[in-house]
Amino acid sequence: MSERIAVIIPCYNHAAYIGAAIESVLAQSRRADRILVIDDGSKDGSEKVVMQYLPHGVEMWGRENRGAHCTLNELVRQAAKDCEFVQILNSDDRLLPDRLEFCLQKANQFAAKSVFATGLQVIDGAGQIMPPDAPRARWFHGAWSLGQQDGITLQEWLGQANFVATTTNVFARTEYLLGNPFRPYRYNHDYFFLATAALENQLSVDPAVHVEYRVHGSNTIATKPAPLMREMLRLHLDLYRTHAAALRERPSMRHRFFDFVRGSCSSISSLHEGMLQVALAQLITSQSDEQIELLCAGLNGPEFEVFPNHTLAGAYDGKNNLNAGVVLGKRLETLKEEMVRVKLDRDSLEKIARCRQKLLKCPWVRFGLFLGIGRPLTANMGKNVTEKLLYLSTTCRNHWWLRLGAKLRFPLSRELREGDY
């Protein structure tokens, strides 16, 4: 079994859209090895529409309604029999023509990752692209814009918003899907799966657009706030419980989880951070004082070696009020300046290496070194990288031996003098 791809399509009452979804699979530049459809108890004739595509290799079976998560898990188990990769496609969405080819390339490029997502464009019920400022598209474009914040991690970004948006934007290794089945959420089974993949460092995201996500009147996300907010609370509590052991044992997991939680504190979705704290408070009431004390005493990790606020605590200058935003902002500016210096040093080192390589390839320079008159060209002068590059470039421009070589038209002599390295 090598690089076989199954496209799995759970269908429920999407007779108006399922044909376009299947046709988007048949039009792929990299053809799917299997196209699997389960009609999850539709009442609108969806099954008849799918049957028209059976001659094109589509495999379909119908049954009573069991919900999206059960249908997806059943399709994954079918695909796992002979396919290494799975592309999920909701029956009202569409794939752009090179989606499978692009994601397979990413999977080969990032062999340590298991889940791959791309950019998406929002379409309406008629299949037309919604402009970014359209009311129902604005949230999705805003969610993607969050990823442009300086220094934001993938986990923090996903905590702020489920910018991946839909299971249609999931291309994954079958083995990972089998080990992380979708949970019985009505609205957020994709979000729990994606959050877990991000926390386990298994999620790769590329902004190139390869999915069309359809927004229309029957989307499950079009609901009153309370049911969605309550499910989002449950989802976050489930993340704590599911990953409790990994959080206890693995500092790297804790780091990613902290980023996710920090992002969720400024969620643009349906998480109310205050109500999450209320829920956590209710859960902790079942623990005795002794149990809480034992829990805290049993935690270990590198986090206990340094005070978490040591940077802020020592930043007061005796003049200005201590302000976390200002202090951290100054620290960020210092880090940015350091990154610029490091980049300049790296570029200078690369130029020095290229120059010296060309010097040693030039027969005229080697002849000068043999005569003992070209040593300044290979000298390592200067206190820092910038000074070393300045010395080398100045020497190449002014050394009489290279000037003579350029006049005699020896290869490389002229470009070395002119700084072409």
We report the CATH number of the domain holding residue 153 as 3.90.550.10
**Chain segment 149-181, per-residue pLDDT in tens:** 988 999 999 999 999 999 999 999 999 999 999
Average of per-residue pLDDT values in the chain: 90
Least confident of 139-148, 151-160, 230-239, 400-409: 400-409
| Segments in 362-398 forming alpha helices (H) | 363-371, 385-398
Residues in CB range of 136: below 8 A, 6 or more apart:
122, 124, 130, 215
In the numeric block, which tokens belong to residue 178?
């089998």
The answer as to whether 106 is a domain residue is yes
The answer as to whether 212 is a domain residue is yes
More confident: 382 or 308? 382
Kindly state the percentage of the chain with pLDDT values over 90: 66
Rounded CA separation 238/112 (Å): 25
Q: What is the mean pLDDT of residues 98-112?
A: 97
In this structure, the answer to whether residues 166 and 36 fall within a common structural domain is yes
- Inform me whether the pLDDT recorded for 398 exceeds 70: yes
Least confident of 40-44, 148-152, 396-400: 396-400
pLDDT score, position 335: 74
Least confident of 18-32, 134-148, 321-335, 392-406: 321-335
The answer as to whether 305 is a domain residue is no
Q: Please write down the long-range contacts of 99-102, taking CB distance under 8 Å and 24 or more positions apart.
A: 99/28, 99/171, 99/210, 99/211, 100/5, 100/7, 100/28, 100/29, 100/30, 100/31, 100/32, 100/171, 101/28, 101/29, 101/30, 102/206, 102/208, 102/210
Rounded CA separation 290/241 (Å): 21
Kindly state the percentage of the chain with pLDDT values over 70: 90
More confident: 25 or 222? 25
> Which one of 199, 222, 245 terminates a domain?
222
* Alpha carbon separation from 282 to 248, 262, 277, 293 (Å, rounded): 22, 21, 9, 17
The answer as to whether 232 is a domain residue is no
CA 251 to chain centre: 20
In this structure, the answer to whether residues 214 and 350 fall within a common structural domain is no
Q: What is the mean pLDDT of residues 5-31?
A: 97
Q: What is the mean pLDDT of residues 389-402?
A: 86
In this structure, the answer to whether residues 171 and 36 fall within a common structural domain is yes
In this structure, the answer to whether residues 365 and 216 fall within a common structural domain is no
* Alpha carbon separation from 333 to 187, 319, 322, 326, 340 (Å, rounded): 40, 20, 17, 10, 11
The answer as to whether 139 is a domain residue is yes
Q: What is the mean pLDDT of residues 386-403?
A: 86
**What is the number of residues in the chain?**
421
> Which one of 188, 222, 256 terminates a domain?
222
Residue 172 carries which side chain, given as an amino acid letter? A
In this structure, the answer to whether residues 216 and 345 fall within a common structural domain is no
The answer as to whether 107 is a domain residue is yes
* Alpha carbon separation from 19 to 51, 110, 202, 215 (Å, rounded): 10, 33, 32, 17
DSSP SS3 for 119 = strand
pLDDT score, position 1: 44
- Inform me whether the pLDDT recorded for 202 exceeds 60: yes
Question: Residue 301: CA atoms inside 13 Å, Cβ hemisphere, count?
Answer: 16
In the numeric block, which tokens belong to residue 219?
């989307």
How many structural domains is the chain composed of? 2
The answer as to whether 385 is a domain residue is yes
The answer as to whether 81 is a domain residue is yes
> Which one of 203, 222, 241 terminates a domain?
222
In this structure, the answer to whether residues 213 and 346 fall within a common structural domain is no
**Chain segment 53-94, per-residue pLDDT in tens:** 999 999 999 999 999 999 999 999 999 999 999 999 999 999
Least confident of 74-78, 139-143, 340-344: 340-344
- Please tell me the pTM assigned to this model: 0.76
In the numeric block, which tokens belong to residue 314?
């020592």
For residue 288, what is the DSSP state? -
Residue 402: domain span: 338-417
Of 315, 319, 229, nearest to 278 by C-alpha is 229
